[in-house]
Amino acid sequence: MNHSTFSPDGNKATRIERDALGSLEIDAEAVHGIFTERAKKNFQISGIVAERNFIKALALIKKAAAAANIQLGTLDRQKGAAIIAAATEVAEGNWDSHFPLDVFQAGAGTPFNMNCNEVIANIAISRLGGKKGDYALVHPNNHVNMAQSSNDVIPTSIRIATLFSMQALKPEIARLDLEFRKKAEEYKGVVKTGRTHLEDAVPIRFDQVFNSYANALENCTGKIKASEASLLELGIGGTAVGTGINTHPEFKSKTISYLREYTSLNFAAASDSILTTWSASAFLEASSSFRLLATELIKICNDLMLLNSGPKTAIAEIILPEVEPGSSIMPGKVNPSIPECAIMACYQVLGNDNAVMEAAKSGQMELNVMTPLIAFNLLWSAKLLTNTAKMLSNHCVKHIIVDRKRSGELLHAGLSLVTALNPYLGYEVCAEIVKISATTGKTLKEAILENRLMSAEDLEKILNATAMTEPGQTDQLLKEKIQNSTTLAEFRQKLKIS
């Protein structure tokens, strides 16, 4: 049992705590203990501390475990009640400043787990009228960590924290989805030039474009929801290697029952706690769903920037909101700053996913010690994507303006409309018309009419840009009329087309 002694250090009161490595002097009022103090000194890597959701998840696990142990008669009711009260305060965020440890730390997240154990123990001790560090009252290991190990606590906390983060992410994706659908309705029927290989292609409507973006986001939400199933399977109660050593046979089920109550999430006991101790597949699933969302957002943002490009010398079919001056040297220049920021954030998510993948395959034997890295990258990705989707909704998509005039000009100036003539004139003739138009500067209509390939009335009927944006049957009577015309036969003969 660890006995703390108190001694003055100048005007600053301190206490001495001991562990297997020796003794250490700690601020007498510190809520953490010797394990946290050592970890603070050892791991000064990034200056980044754990996410709020991760601390909350840790505290809820401690609260549920204490409640289960009280119910099973393995934990003194008074000590357990103090632990539950302390854990509740930690879960609510009242003690976040006492979780100072770097996200890059010892494997398996043991410092994270012990930091939480020590903070809850010392809060509980104070509630029982003792002095901080008087672990005879409430011990970080013996009481707060009863029937637990870092090896089952940390993977469980990552699962819970990721699910909490997804609860914040999904509504923001839904809002962005809705903003695109609003734009689709606003610009319903407005036809633009489609583009493939960054070259002019057949027509497409803006409502089709915007709805496709929304559908991509809806698909991403589906993948995120699908990954939740694995996260809901908890290995808590498996302790060191998943076998459940030092736990009551009912500890796992009761702890998970309390976690369901505290979080309103439908947790279930993993069928194989040995697997959940060493396998990071559930985290890889979640990270992969984040990667998909990031990838789709990058593509969408690139599209928005291209469609906005110019505004005088490029496409400029849409106008993105002006959120800041775009240049320190070119007056009046405005850049697509919001999509640019979004793309950078999404690239970081892709990098995070790669880190999760590498960590997931780096476990050995009965444990994956890379869980701190997984936790950091997974939760960071969720946060980045949540804020990115929110930014795109509020400061970009809802303010997009489609330039109808510009879109129409580019549509009719392009050569891709000739595709609609394929069934009537044939591919080779259409290709020649495009060549004539490109070399002479004449429009498609001018080139066709000058070569008397069909009447102006028939041409207007076929070159209906709106009709080209949907499936439609070839007018067989009109096709027969055109293909049997003498002028088309002469044109084909001139080109030596059989």
Alpha helices in 323-401 (DSSP H): 337-360, 371-395
**pLDDT tier at 49 (50, 70, 90 boundaries)?**
very high
Nearest to 4 by CA among 26, 20, 36: 26
CA angle 52/58/60 to nearest 5° reads: 100
Q: If you average pLDDT over residues 212-233, what whole number do you get?
A: 98
Q: How far apart, in whole angstroms, are the C-alpha atoms of residue 158 and residue 150?
A: 12
333 exposed, middle or buried (CB, 10 Å; 0-12, 13-18, 19+)? exposed
Intervals of CATH 1.20.200.10 along the chain: 152-405
Report the distance separating Cα 109 and Cα 118, nearest Å: 14
Query: Tokens representing 89?
Result: 């305060």
Mean pLDDT along residues 11-20: 89
Residue 488's pLDDT is what? 87
Q: Is a pLDDT exceeding 90 seen at residue 212?
A: yes
Model confidence band, residue 237 (pLDDT cutoffs 50, 70, 90): very high
pLDDT of res. 111: 97
**What is this structure's pTM?**
0.93
- Say if residue 6's pLDDT is above 50: no
CATH of segment(s) 152-405: 1.20.200.10
Q: Give the span between the Cα atoms of 414 and 434, in whole angstroms.
A: 10
Share of the chain above pLDDT 70, in %: 98
Could you tell me which residues come within 8 angstroms of residue 145 by beta carbon, excluding any fewer than 6 positions away? 62, 113, 114, 117, 153
Lowest mean pLDDT among 172-176, 308-312, 384-388: 308-312
| Domain 415-494, CATH number (from 2.60.120.560, 1.10.40.30, 3.30.1330.60, 3.20.20.60) | 1.10.40.30
Q: Assess whether pLDDT exceeds 80 at residue 494.
A: yes
**Region(s) of the chain under CATH 1.10.275.10:** 5-146
435 has pLDDT over 90: yes
Question: What is the CATH T-level fold of the domain 5-146, as seen in this structure?
Answer: Fumarase C; Chain B, domain 1 (1.10.275)
For 73-94, the pLDDT digits (tens) are 999 999 999 999 999 999 999 9
Q: What percent of the chain clears pLDDT 90, i.e. is strictly above it?
A: 89
64 vs 5, residue with greater confidence: 64
| Per-residue confidence band for 329, with pLDDT thresholds at 50, 70 and 90 | confident
pLDDT of residue 424: 93
Lowest mean pLDDT among 1-5, 60-64, 246-250: 1-5
Backbone dihedral angles phi then psi of residue 404, each to the nearest 5 degrees: -60, -40
pLDDT at 327 exceeding the cut of 80: no
- For residue 159, pLDDT over 60 is answered with yes
- The segment(s) of the chain belonging to CATH 1.10.40.30 are 415-494
253 counts as catalytic: no
pLDDT tens digit sequence for 108-153: 999 999 999 999 999 999 999 999 999 999 999 999 999 999 999 9
Number of Cβ atoms within 10 Å of the Cβ of 419: 16
pLDDT at 325: 86
Q: Which of 23, 46, 281, 327 is catalytic?
A: 327
Specify the pairing of strand 401-402 against strand 318-319: antiparallel
